[in-house]
């Protein structure tokens, strides 16, 4: 074992958990799987809800309780889903404010680069806003917040299975592609995996892969068997959201490693939704040590009442990860990000600098 690893373990042993959490908070993090709709700044949401005279609790503490999944509650998939609402907004200004003020908080947890995914329908459906206009607005608001805080950001358009038929998604995809915004780097398929198998979206993904403008990531193997991950790979997914069931198929992890398919894993989210209720036996640690390209992500931190650094602290506690492991995981995330190769190389160099800054501050 390398001396640095031993020293890190000794240091880690003598730190209390609050100190450790502060260390992971300060650690520069690359995140590939975070839903904008699950990462709202709650104070802003409360202000918008009050302004729009929505039926919400009178005080912010009760509002938080109603909005968030109780931190220590047992897993409950339906309770988790019930926290996502799309009826907050009454104007495009509301959408701008919630995006801008939410992205502004990302640097508090020292995110270095984020591929932020959002479902334009979440923001547009209730008021029937123009989907292209709302998409432009979200990107502008996110970019402004990122620029002001020194965060690097790109975007993934997320389609929610079960919300619309495939043909609607294809026309929306074409409409958003025509915006020509270089900040959009990929497409995601989210939502109810069990009732809407990946196969039902084959024409959408054929269009995405043949256009070759945006990459694809698909939520698969979160609550479904490994067969759904194989199907997602057949449709051209470059990354898999969650993919926890990949551990059940001995052929899958080596295939993911060989093809460089990154798993976007989320320990807290999987616990709260019940997709992998026991955090301590979450397969992330085993998959990592098997050489599978895994990454640590938050998924929906405001709903979960957590931050990405909480999942880092859990990975340290449950899988005995040390700083070198987290550095490796972040380079895996950069390798798997949807930026063009040249930009990826630049990002790696900048990330090395950020790490030097972090180490100097220890």
Nearest-approach distance from CB 158 to Zn ion, in angstroms: 8
- Please state at what angle helix 252-259 crosses helix 226-234, rounded to 10 degrees: 30
244/323 with CB nearer Zn ion: 244
97/299 with CB nearer Zn ion: 299
- Residue identified by tokens 């123009």 is 130
Q: Which residue is nearest to Zn ion (CB)?
A: 299
Q: Are 56 and 317 in contact (CB under 8 A)?
A: no
Structure tokens at 270: 């999987």
The piece of 42-50, 134-142, 200-208, 299-307 that touches Zn ion (CB under 5 A) is: 299-307
The piece of 124-132, 149-157, 291-299, 334-342 that touches Zn ion (CB under 5 A) is: 291-299
106/129 with CB nearer Zn ion: 106
Q: Are 318 and 285 in contact (CB under 8 A)?
A: yes
Nearest-approach distance from CB 299 to Zn ion, in angstroms: 5
Of residues 78 through 107, those in contact with Zn ion by CB under 5 A are none
Task: For the chain, give the longest Cα–Cα distance.
Answer: 60
- The CA distance from 53 to 230, in Å, is 47
Nearest-approach distance from CB 315 to Zn ion, in angstroms: 18
- The CA distance from 271 to 274, in Å, is 5
Total number of residues that touch Zn ion (CB under 5 A): 1
Q: Are 56 and 50 in contact (CB under 8 A)?
A: yes
33/152 with CB nearer Zn ion: 33
157/354 with CB nearer Zn ion: 157
The piece of 79-87, 142-150, 245-253, 298-306 that touches Zn ion (CB under 5 A) is: 298-306
299/316 with CB nearer Zn ion: 299
Nearest-approach distance from CB 160 to Zn ion, in angstroms: 10
In angstroms and rounded to an integer, the radius of gyration of the C-alpha atoms of the chain is: 20
Q: Are 194 and 223 in contact (CB under 8 A)?
A: yes
Q: Taking Cα atoms as reference points, which of 162, 149, 159, 122 lies closest to residue 138?
A: 122
| Site of interaction with Zn ion (CB under 5 A) | 299
């Amino acid at each position: 074992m390398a001396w640095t690893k031993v020293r890190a373990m000794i240091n880690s042993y003598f730190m209390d958990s609050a100190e450790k959490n502060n260390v992971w908070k300060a650690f520069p993090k690359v995140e590939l799987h975070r839903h904008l709709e699950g990462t709202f700044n709650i104070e802003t949401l409360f202000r918008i809800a009050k302004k729009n005279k929505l039926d919400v609790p009178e005080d912010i503490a009760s509002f938080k309780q109603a909005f968030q999944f109780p931190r220590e509650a047992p897993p409950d998939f339906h309770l988790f889903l019930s926290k996502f609402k799309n009826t907050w907004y009454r104007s495009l200004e509301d959408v701008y404010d919630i995006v801008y003020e939410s992205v502004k908080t990302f640097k508090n947890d020292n995110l270095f680069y984020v591929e932020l995914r959002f479902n334009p329908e979440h923001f547009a459906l209730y008021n029937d806003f123009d989907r292209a206009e709302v998409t432009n607005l979200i990107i502008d608001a996110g970019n402004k917040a990122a620029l002001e805080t020194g965060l690097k950001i790109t975007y993934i358009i997320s389609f929610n299975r079960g919300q619309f038929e495939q043909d609607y998604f294809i026309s929306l995809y074409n409409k958003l592609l025509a915006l020509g915004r270089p900040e959009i780097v990929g497409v995601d398929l989210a939502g109810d995996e069990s009732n809407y198998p990946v196969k039902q979206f084959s024409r959408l993904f054929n269009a995405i892969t043949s256009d070759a403008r945006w990459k694809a990531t698909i939520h698969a193997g979160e609550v479904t068997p490994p067969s759904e991950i194989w199907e997602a790979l057949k449709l051209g997914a470059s990354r898999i959201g969650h993919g926890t069931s990949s551990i059940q198929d001995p052929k899958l992890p080596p295939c993911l490693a060989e093809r460089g398919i990154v798993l976007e894993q989320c320990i807290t989210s999987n616990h709260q939704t019940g997709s992998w209720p026991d955090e301590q036996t979450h397969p992330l640690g085993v998959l990592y040590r098997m050489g599978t390209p895994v990454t640590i992500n938050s998924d929906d931190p405001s709903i979960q009442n957590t931050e990405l650094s909480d999942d880092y602290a859990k990975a340290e506690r449950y899988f005995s990860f040390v700083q070198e492991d987290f550095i490796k995981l972040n380079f895996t995330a950069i390798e798997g990000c949807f930026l063009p190769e040249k930009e990826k190389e630049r990002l790696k160099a900048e990330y090395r600098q950020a790490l030097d800054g972090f180490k100097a501050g220890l």
